Amino acid sequence: MTPIMSKSEAADLVVSAKIRLGLSWQQIADVLDAPLVWATAALLGQHPMSDEQARKVCGLLELDETVAESLRLQPARGVDEELMSDPTIYRFVEAISVYGPALKELIHEEFGDGIMSAINFKVDIARRPDPDGDRVVVTFDGKFLDYRW
């Protein structure tokens, strides 16, 4: 019996196949009929895929059943210290460190005592042209969950 492939090993194979086949993340997400950011995160190991999604993407990327099996597994989510050295990821952490307390206060003022769900959640990325250089627009869209005492 073949041991289960780790999600990080599967992600490496997905990225290699994507490059080898000249596909974009958007093209892969379109085949999966899934949101771009969700599909990319799932293929990088942060979400479990359904059996149908895993089979479909492995067919597209010419990857075998061991990769599909890994893509169906529940992930171990958390902070990967190695990722913190990546400048793009670090900037997101930095932005939340600077603006997180203000966003928390504003959410509480607008909605009351509660949180924004990261489970009932959508995230999107877009490019916005700007004369000073294009802007990255990241949208977090989470359901408000009030604390119930």
Catalytic residue among 94, 109, 127, 128: 94
The structure tokens 């009351």 sit at: 112
Distances (CA, A) of 109 to 23, 69, 102, 103, 145: 44, 45, 10, 10, 14
Calculate helix-pair angle for 51-61, 25-32, nearest 10 degrees. 140
Structure tokens at 99: 């603006």
> In Å, how far from its chain's centre is CA 92?
13
**50 noted as active-site residue:** no
**85 noted as active-site residue:** no
Q: How far apart are CA 13 and CA 16, in angstroms?
A: 5
Catalytic residue among 6, 16, 65, 91: 91
E-only strand ranges, the chain? 114-128, 135-146
Return the active site residues.
Answer: 91, 94, 117
